[in-house]
Homo-oligomer: A and B are copies of this chain.
Amino acid sequence: MDCPVPKNDYDKILLAHGGGGTLMHRLIDDIFKSNFDNEILSQGNDSAIFEISGTKFAFTTDSYVVQPLFFPGGDIGTLAVNGTVNDLCVSGAKPLYISVGFIIEEGFPIEELEKIVISMKKSAEEAKIKIVTGDTKVINKKSGDGIYINTSGIGIVYDEVNISAGNLKPGDKIILSGKIADHGIAVMSARENLEFETEIKSDCAALNGLVDEIFSVSKNIKVMRDPTRGGVAGTLNEIAKSSGLGIKIYEDKIPVSEPVRGACEILGFDPMYVANEGKLIAFVKSKDAEKVLLKMQSHHLGKESVIIGEVTSENPARVIMKTVIGSSRIVDMISGEQLPRIC
């Protein structure tokens, strides 16, 4: 049973309020949704979807506060572009334009700023989107951690595409585009100066090319998400809760690389809760699942795509994992985040 915690059980913001778990969702519901209430916001998607003169748009925003700013496989700049591109494309939209707002700490080296800007430029080129407007604010020394970046993005929703947890039906298949937990472990290893036998790199990438491919073979995609904060477990829980249906996944199908599995064991993390920045979860109508899977596997970002489970009528609003030893366990949403400041 869910035990709703009273609104005022915390009077101060905790790090966990930013972690993609139950605490963050409660903050959003209690403070933001209840005040800003309108029919577009209440859709509760990664992007707002609205129609203007017959065209359906997606609009999204994300701030990036990752520490450290540079990590194996990327930096705050690659994250800031790809993260917002991904929020748009998993909403069923073709990303077009993004804005960038820099908040820079006094004393930040201009050389590092330029490195970050060049990463953003390259990521924008790869994702085939344009950075069209920006803003720069400078804050006093010790009022920041070098640099924070906000990007907001606009895209056009694909024709005949309707992404919504409300569309889900028992039997829909769940496809995951590859190995999980690389991003979180890469950032963590950079933060703590950990060295593993094999360097673990962030999977940070723009998913709009892969999404384009998916829509070229099927419009029967019910829900798509990029499992960032809160990891695959957090994302699946959000979807189970908003659809009211159950989700069954198979432990032996969840792809985790050996180095990441090892690092998670050493650090005491469950890879299911660790952030990804270049992975896609697609909920597909059963009859189209095989076709979509093959198409995903033909794309360089989806080579290791696999069906990890399905939607069920049993266990409403719950995520259940069939373990390798054959038992079932509930995969719950955690309250905060194992790894803060991961994006």
Contacts and interface: CB of A to CB of B under 8 A. Distances in A.
Nearest to A108: B13
B142 A142 contact: yes
Contacts of A156: 52
Contact of A32 (B27, B52, B117, B139): B117
Given A110-B31, A144-B143, A61 B17 contact: no
Contacts of A139: 18, 65, 145, 148, 341
A124 interface: yes
A33 B247 CA distance: 47
A267 interface: no
Interface in A17-71: 17-19, 24, 27-28, 31-32, 35-36, 38, 40-41, 47-48, 50, 52-55, 57, 59-65
A217 to B, nearest CB: 25
Interface residues of A, number: 80
Nearest to A36: B131
Given A59-B132, A61-B134, A15 B48 contact: no
Contacts of A209: none
B150 A113 contact: no
Given A31-B117, A35-B118, A63 B13 contact: no
Given A53-B55, A140-B341, A144-B144, A62 B130 contact: no
Contacts of A59: 97, 99, 132-133, 154
A103 to B, nearest CB: 5
Given A53-B53, A103-B103, 7 more contacts: A19-B138, A31-B114, A41-B131, A63-B101, A65-B103, A144-B144, A150-B152
